[in-house]
Amino acid sequence: MLEAIGLTKLYGQHTALDRLDLKVNPGEIFCLLGANGAGKTTTINLFLNFIAPSAGTARINGVDVARDPLGTKQDVAYIPEQVSLYGTLSGVENLRYFSALALNRHLPRPRLLELLEQVGLDTHAIDKPVSAYSKGMRQKVWIAVALAKEVKALLLDEPTSGLDPHAANEFSGLLTRASQSGVAVLTTTHDLFHAKHTGTRIGIMKRGRLVESLDSAQISDVDLQKLYLAHMGA
């Protein structure tokens, strides 16, 4: 579903991503771990065609994102670390607009309310301006957009950073439900716990290279931590 083949990105002399080979099948949740600057966000940006690769390809549903940027965006939903919305519009208005852009048609209000309920957004806040929302609330609106798209792949960039444990837990639940319905998820994170307990596969990135790739079920919390720190230390 999500595939990177020899994906490379160079900025002058600096190698941000070095020949990444990666495959996320439907139903899998692949968690990319790594320090700041390891290349996690670069990977996400390459899948979204926000930057052009220096070499290699990124494919969504078998299609090269550079060849068909608009078409491939049909099939993927992106959730950034910081969700920004239009502050003067309400939650439901933002959802209506972005989902319309995604689907090329406006969803009826009942459907919008249904989506917001699905993500657990407080009903009182729905029609209030987004400038008053917390980070978690904004993220929920954006997840609703992603759900509206009914896509087969999700790209998440540090989704739980800055969320309190309850919200983070809620979010993990959503992810699990999504993967159970066959969605391929690629997520970057710092959170080892979240990676171990939500992800089906874990990858560790260091200085642009995928140095480790393993099944999360086959390693314990403690060993994962040791492995991660070992890579970071060297």
Partner 1 sequence: MIKNSQAIRLRMVMANELRLLLTDRCFWIVSLLFMLLIGYALSNGMRQAAHRTEAQAAIVKDDAARRAQQALKLQRIVDGSERPGPFDNPADPTHMGGGYGAHHAIMPAAPLAPIALGQDDLFPSQFKVTYNSKVSFISDNDIENPWHLLSGHFDLAFVVVYLLPFLIFALSYNLLSGERESGTLRLLLSQPLALATLLCGKIATRAGALLAMALLVPVMTLLLARPETAAGGAAAALCWAATVGAYALFWFALVLAVNALGKSSSTNAMILIVAWVVLVLVVPSLLNLAVTAAVPAPSRAELATRTRVVTAEAMARNNKLLSTDYEHVGKPGVLLPEQGKLRIAGRLRGMYKIEREVDDLMQPELDRFDLQQARRQALVSRFSVLSPAAVASEGMSALAGTGQRRHAWFMAQVANYHAQWKRFFFPRVDADRAIGIDDFGRIPKFVWQEERAQEVRRQGWLAVMQLLAPSALLLLFAAWRLRRYSVV
78 makes contact with partner 1 (CB under 8 A): yes
48 makes contact with partner 1 (CB under 8 A): yes
Please pick, from the candidates 5, 100, 107, 192, the single residue that binds partner 1 as defined by CB under 8 A: 100
Please pick, from the candidates 12, 13, 62, 101, the single residue that binds partner 1 as defined by CB under 8 A: 101
- CA torsion angle for 124, 126, 130, 133 (degrees, to 10)? 50
11 makes contact with partner 1 (CB under 8 A): no
Q: How far apart are CA 73 and CA 132, in angstroms?
A: 30
Please pick, from the candidates 12, 13, 62, 84, the single residue that binds partner 1 as defined by CB under 8 A: 84
Buried b or exposed e, range 181-196, using 16+ CB within 10 angstroms? eebbbbbbbebbebbb
Q: Strand 76-79 relative to strand 55-60: parallel, antiparallel, unpaired?
A: unpaired
Kindly state the DSSP code that residue 123 receives in the 8-state scheme: T
83 makes contact with partner 1 (CB under 8 A): yes
125 to 164: interface string for partner 1, x by CB under 8 A? -----------------x----------------------
Closest to 29 in 3D by CA, of 218, 226, 196: 196
Cβ proximity to partner 1, 94 vs 198, nearer residue? 94
36 makes contact with partner 1 (CB under 8 A): no
Residue 16 · residue 42 · CB < 8 Å: yes
End-to-end CA distance of the chain: 33
Q: Judged by CB under 8 A, how many residues of this single chain contact partner 1? A: 29
Cβ proximity to partner 1, 89 vs 126, nearer residue? 89
Q: How far apart are CA 158 and CA 176, in angstroms?
A: 16
Cβ proximity to partner 1, 55 vs 229, nearer residue? 55
Q: How far apart are CA 9 and CA 104, in angstroms?
A: 32
Give the residues lining the site for partner 1 (CB under 8 A). Answer: 45, 48, 50-51, 70-71, 73-74, 76-78, 80, 82-86, 88-89, 93, 97-98, 100-102, 104-106, 142
